[in-house]
Structure formats: structure tokens, C-alpha cells
């Protein structure tokens, strides 16, 4: 069973599970299983609200169910209020609906599964979670709350939302920033196919307001390489619909150079503002993003 759970860290397997709630549950449980097998296993007790048993601790506070699974003694920790308020912001612009391979999930599907897993993990930690979805404008805003029924509603909204409009990152993210009245964690999941300055400005606004910000950039592998299995191809702008007939090998070198420059500029500009950045492809297992979140969580503590 442990190996099966770890398998659900793979996007193409998690995508076939059905409901977003089921995806989130299995991704997180698979992640926890993987942590117990890895050098990071110490993280698991932090986000599970446990700490190692120490001499003098009350035996009544030992989590015996966890002991049965791990053969280690951990103490349950209780807190009177939530540790954190987090908002997860998901890009639902038309470009997020792209996939280069019918067997590969779209960027939006990947983003929603990652958002669902992060929300589930945050709630598991007794943290309040909110959700925002944007394209040209802010389409959905759900303020952070700590309630299981609220989590199910957020996952439902993620599942039923369809990418349909162009992107205006700066405008939409500024609308989100205006609604964040208390400092907390902001996680933005997007392909960030916009001008780097239009991305940096609203995220910097959030950072300067005291929020911790993580930017997860999600791309399809072909968007970085332009590797197509054909001599001729029609290149289509997924947001404007403009088309261009070409031979990919003629453009590939210059395309890859431009993409790498764009990604490097975006990463450097965000890191310079104190914004954490991680590039993910739609083939990347979810544990990479979840570990990045845990790392940020440690630095916030």
C-alpha cells in the first residue's frame, strides 16, 4: 500500500483518480509515505503537528497510532489558534489549458492538483486556507478559513473551473493583494507567460505587505524545448489564436535561448524581491513542490 500511495505523487496517475478531494488525499498521503523513506522524514513530524518524545513528557500525550505505524514515539502538540493564514492563487487563463501530448495532463490540471494537495496539507496542519482563481481578472476569491467543509468547497471550485480567457497577471494579482488584509503565506501557481515586470510588481506588493510568497511556475516540457515529432508544424498562440506555419528545427535553437533567458530573468527578479520561485513541468512529481512548501514553512517558523 505504501508504494501505491507514493505512486500518486506522479501527476499522470493522480489525474486519473477522479474527484479533487480524492486526488488531494492520496497525493498528501503518498507524500507522507515518501518522507518516511527519505532523508527528509524529520519534516513529517513538523507538519503533522507532532514532535519526538523526550524524557519527562507525559505518556498520555504519546500518539500510539503513529507509534504503531513508525515504531517511534511522538508527542501530540495542540495549539489554541491556527499557525498560519494561507492563500493559494491559481492561474486559469487560456494558456493554462495547454498540453503537448494527449497522454500528458494540461498545465491547469496540474496546477489544480497541486493547489488541492497544498490546501489539504495546510488544513491537516490546522492552518486556515483560502483560494483565488484569476485570468484577465480575479474570477474567484475565497478568504482563508479553517473548516473541512470549506476545503471541500475550494476543491470543488478548482475542479469545475475551466480556463477560458487571456492573461493579465498584474491586474488580477493586484486585485488579490488588495483583499489580503492579514499577513500570511501566498502561493501562486501559474505558467507566468507574461512580461516579467508584470509578474514581479504584484508579487512584490504582497511581499512588501509582509506576506511570504512562493511562486510555482508550471510549464509543459515542450514549452521549454519546442521539440515536436514532425518536419512541419503550425504554431498557435493559445490565447490569441494566431497561427504560423514553420519547420520547428529552424526555430528551435533561438526559441530555447529566448525561453531560457525569460526563465532566468523571471527567477532572478523574483528572488531579488525575496520571493521563492520553483519551476515545475507537468511531468514533475508533486513531492518537489510540497518539499519547497515545507522548506518555506520552516523559515517562517
Given 48, 76, 104, the domain boundary residue is 76
The SS3 call for residue 128 is: strand
Based on the domain organization, do 89 and 232 belong to the same domain? yes
108 contacts: CB under 8 Å, gap ≥ 6: 90, 91, 92, 96, 97, 163
Based on the domain organization, do 251 and 123 belong to the same domain? yes
From the CA atom positions of the chain, what is the Rg in Å?
20
Based on the domain organization, do 50 and 91 belong to the same domain? no
Nearest alpha carbon to residue 215 among 201, 226, 203:
203
Beta strands at 85-91 and 128-134: parallel, antiparallel or unpaired: parallel
Question: Looking at the chain, how many residues does it have?
Answer: 301
Given 76, 98, 132, the domain boundary residue is 76
pLDDT tens per residue, range 97-111: 999 888 889 999 999
The backbone torsions φ and ψ at residue 158, rounded to the nearest 5 degrees and listed phi first, read -60, -40
Based on the domain organization, do 161 and 198 belong to the same domain? yes
pLDDT tens per residue, range 185-242: 999 999 999 999 999 999 999 999 999 999 999 999 988 887 655 556 566 655 566 7
The range of the structural domain enclosing residue 136 comes to 85-300
Domain CATH for 290: 3.40.50.410
Based on the domain organization, do 71 and 93 belong to the same domain? no
Based on the domain organization, do 108 and 34 belong to the same domain? no
- Greatest alpha-carbon pair distance for the chain in Å reads 73
Based on the domain organization, do 254 and 164 belong to the same domain? yes
Number of domains in the chain: 2
> For the purposes of burial, counting CB atoms within 10 Å of the CB of 261, is it exposed (0-12), middle (13-18) or buried (19 or more)?
exposed
What's the pLDDT at 202?
A: 95
Based on the domain organization, do 60 and 199 belong to the same domain? no
Taking residue 79's Cβ as centre, other Cβ atoms within 10 Å add up to 9
Based on the domain organization, do 132 and 265 belong to the same domain? yes
Based on the domain organization, do 105 and 205 belong to the same domain? yes
Nearest alpha carbon to residue 106 among 229, 258, 238, 251:
238
Based on the domain organization, do 164 and 124 belong to the same domain? yes
Range name among 14-23, 50-59, 263-272, 273-282 with the lowest pLDDT average: 50-59
Given 76, 108, 133, the domain boundary residue is 76
pLDDT tens per residue, range 14-64: 888 888 998 898 898 888 877 766 555 444 444 445 667 666 667 777 777
Based on the domain organization, do 97 and 155 belong to the same domain? yes
Question: What cell does 160 get?
Answer: 469545475
Q: Which pTM does this prediction carry?
A: 0.80
The backbone torsions φ and ψ at residue 242, rounded to the nearest 5 degrees and listed phi first, read -65, 145
As a whole number of angstroms, the distance between CA 235 and CA 287 comes to 33
Amino acid at each position: 500500500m505504501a508504494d501505491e500511495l507514493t505512486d500518486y505523487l506522479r501527476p499522470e496517475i493522480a489525474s486519473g483518480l477522479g474527484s479533487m478531494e480524492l486526488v488531494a488525499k492520496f497525493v498528501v498521503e503518498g507524500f507522507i509515505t515518501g518522507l518516511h523513506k527519505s532523508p527528509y522524514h524529520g519534516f513529517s513530524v513538523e507538519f503533522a503537528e507532532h514532535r519526538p518524545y523526550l524524557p519527562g513528557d507525559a505518556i498520555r500525550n504519546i500518539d500510539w497510532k503513529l507509534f504503531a505505524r513508525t515504531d517511534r514515539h511522538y508527542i501530540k502538540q495542540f495549539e489554541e489558534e491556527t499557525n498560519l493564514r494561507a492563500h493559494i492563487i491559481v492561474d486559469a487563463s487560456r494558456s493554462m489549458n495547454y498540453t503537448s501530448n494527449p497522454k500528458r495532463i494540461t498545465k491547469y490540471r496540474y496546477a489544480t492538483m497541486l493547489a488541492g494537495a497544498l490546501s489539504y496539507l495546510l488544513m491537516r496542519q490546522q492552518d486556515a486556507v483560502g483560494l483565488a482563481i484569476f485570468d484577465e481578472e480575479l474570477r474567484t476569491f475565497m478568504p482563508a478559513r479553517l473548516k473541512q467543509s470549506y476545503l471541500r468547497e475550494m476543491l470543488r471550485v478548482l475542479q469545475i473551473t475551466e480556463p477560458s480567457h487571456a492573461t493579465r497577471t498584474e491586474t488580477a494579482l493586484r486585485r488579490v493583494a488588495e483583499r489580503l488584509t492579514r499577513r500570511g503565506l501566498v502561493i501562486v501557481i501559474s505558467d507566468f507567460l507574461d512580461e516579467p515586470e508584470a509578474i514581479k510588481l504584484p508579487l512584490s506588493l504582497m511581499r512588501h505587505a509582509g506576506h511570504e510568497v512562493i511562486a510555482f511556475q508550471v510549464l509543459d516540457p515542450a514549452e521549454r524545448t519546442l521539440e515536436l515529432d514532425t518536419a512541419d508544424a503550425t504554431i498557435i498562440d493559445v490565447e490569441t489564436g494566431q497561427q504560423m506555419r514553420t519547420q520547428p528545427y529552424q526555430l528551435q535553437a533561438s526559441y530555447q535561448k529566448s525561453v531560457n533567458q525569460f526563465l532566468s530573468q523571471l527567477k532572478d527578479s523574483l528572488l531579488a524581491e525575496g520571493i521563492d520561485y520553483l519551476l515545475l513541468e507537468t511531468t514533475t512529481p508533486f513531492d518537489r513542490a510540497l518539499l519547497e512548501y515545507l522548506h518555506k514553512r520552516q523559515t517562517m517558523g
